[in-house]
Amino acid sequence: MSEPKMPTARTRVVRESERGIYDRDTVYRILDEGFICHVGFVVDGQPFVIPTAYGRKDANLYVHGSAVSRMLRQMKEGVAVCVTVTLLDGLVLARSVFNHSMNYRSVVILGKASLVEDQEEKLVSLRLLSEHIIPGRWDDVRQPNERELKATSVLRIPIEEYSAKVRTGPPIDEKEDYSLPVWAGVIPLGMRAGEAMGDPQLHPGQEVPGYVRHYRRVR
């Protein structure tokens, strides 16, 4: 099946349209740097937007959770979802209140999720999710048992209808405001790992694995 050409009428960025990006490489780079998305869906006319973890493989996002969570139950039933991922890169301080902004990279995906039913694929998807968040961890720890697997649902969301929006650079002020004696510029922000704190019940001498010591998000 040929895929729809991006943007569709629903995914075209309207305001600051020059910031809209529709190529998969950009979208995948943003998705691969993040691991938290917000899943929006409507139940009985009430919108819910739920933050949750995800992993990506090729043109699919995977989310998981308790088999009885409302989000996963609704998604299983095929409700339309909107998934958003945001990476905040900075606060943009302009010379006027109006022109303050943020630097960011964000992705919006529209579609419907489907349940990963095959047990082997479910395990592969869970591993993928784990490796997306902290590569190296899965093989180091106890694998999920049958009870844990049963209590967990995994859903696949195809990345078929999507958009990215990216803002970079300094503030954009009104011409006449550049002469104002006020500081303007960017406060960079980002997700940084601090120093890992060992569990108080660690075996004495347990080494901190390299993937913990060197954890970083920027790929």
Ligand X SMILES: Cc1cc2nc3c(=O)[nH]c(=O)nc-3n(C[C@H](O)[C@H](O)[C@H](O)COP(=O)(O)OP(=O)(O)OC[C@H]3O[C@@H](n4cnc5c(N)ncnc54)[C@H](O)[C@@H]3O)c2cc1C
Which parts of this chain interact with ligand X (CB under 6 A)? 10-15, 86, 88, 102, 104, 106-108, 163-165
Q: How far is the CB of 6 from ligand X (least distance, A)?
A: 9
Q: How far is the CB of 19 from ligand X (least distance, A)?
A: 8
β-strand pairing of 101-112 with 36-43? unpaired
166: which residues sit within 8 A by CB, 6+ positions away?
19, 21, 26, 104, 105, 106
d(CA 119, CA 122): 5
Nearer to ligand X, 95 or 105 (CB): 105
d(CA 61, CA 48): 19
Under 8 Å between Cβ of 107 and 31 = yes
Q: How far is the CB of 150 from ligand X (least distance, A)?
A: 36
Nearer to ligand X, 38 or 76 (CB): 38
Nearer to ligand X, 88 or 115 (CB): 88
Find the helix or strand (DSSP H, E) in which 158 lies. Answer: strand 152-158
Nearer to ligand X, 125 or 163 (CB): 163
Minimal CA–CA distance to 52: which of 41, 66, 65? 65
Nearer to ligand X, 62 or 162 (CB): 162
What are 63's strand-pairing partners? Answer: 155
Q: How far is the CB of 103 from ligand X (least distance, A)?
A: 9
**HSE (side-chain half, CA atoms, 13 Å) at 48:** 15
Q: How far is the CB of 1 from ligand X (least distance, A)?
A: 21
